[in-house]
Amino acid sequence: MKSKHSKNTQGASVRFSGHETFPLRQMWLKKAFDQASDGGLIPKTTFTDESAITAFGVGKNMVASIRHWALACGVMYDEGDTFRVANLATEILQNGGLDPYAENPSTAWLVHWQLAGRRHRSTTWFWLFNHVTAPTFTRLELEDPLSRYARSLDPKHRLSTSTISRDLETCLRGYAPRAAAGSPEDFAEPLLGELGLLQEVHKGQYAFRRGPKAGLHDGIFAYALIDFWDRTANSQSSLAFETVAYAEGSPGRVFKLDEESIAQRLISLADFTGGKIAWTDSGGLRQVHRKALSGEDRKEMVRRAYD
């Protein structure tokens, strides 16, 4: 949800902890946001003081998890001794905002993009949606390739198998919650579970659901496309269809869209953006073009996803 681009968004850093094995819950981003002052600042001690348990209404580990998710989802970012709330997060989560209680599917899609479309504090999420191509997979089958991926990003980084395993389990449960679980917290539907991106086809065996994604608003798709474009090919005024569909960190991969759905969405963006994004298909060369887009243009794409 962060509207400014962080230098380390696509950096080589890896992170496999912080969530305390709790998948993101619907109200947690709002809980973090509500700690901000009128100036949009949250003292870091808010999450560590003894009063935090009372303030957030959850246990100590969950407070740490809320802090992690607010950072990973771009709701807030580091600024010295404090966290600063991002402008886009304010627009969405403030009382009277676009979606203060995270009930609109567009908020979940935006959060998914932040976690799986970027590598910032969510290495496993990014890797799972961009690098796993098997038709079905188990958590155990993912552990070694994920560990190799982490080492390729940071050869000095040493991770235990249990750390990798816990992170994968948390990620998978966030999209495909367990049907039956032991604690009341596990019965709470994770925010990303409603997206239908991942399903447990057999006990412990998962598969992506690829296809049109009717719940994904064109405004969120357009925002994700421009965010991807800005970070990977900022100087280019056009992108090849294949890049949008298949490149690492692309909307096609992250949202698990099929080719026809991507083409239809790209064609419709000319009307949606008033011609600022346009599609051409000439001589078999399929491309999407863009004119200069302001920060306000980007925000407007998101706003329209909540109409």
How far apart are alpha carbons 187 and 166 in whole angstroms? 19
Same domain, 226 and 190: no
Q: Which of 186, 208, 230 lies at the terminal end of a domain, its last residue? A: 208
15, pLDDT greater than 90 = no
pLDDT at residue 3 tops 60: no
> For residue 137, what are its two tokens?
């997979």
Q: What is the pLDDT of residues 32-57, one digit of tens each?
A: 999 999 899 999 999 999 999 999 99
d(CA 187, CA 184): 5
- Please give the angle made by the CA atoms of 243, 175 and 125, to the nearest 5 degrees: 50
Structure tokens at 23: 């998948």
pLDDT digits (tens, 9 = 90+) for 75-118: 999 999 999 999 999 999 999 999 999 999 999 999 999 999 99
Runs of H (alpha helix) within 157-217: 161-175, 184-187
Q: In what order do the strands lie in the sheet with 285-290?
A: 238-240, 285-290, 277-282
Does residue 78 fall inside a structural domain? yes
On whether both 110 and 227 belong to a single domain, the answer is: no
CATH number of domain containing 288 = 1.10.10.1420
**H/E element, 270:** helix 259-272
Residue 192 within any structural domain of the chain: yes
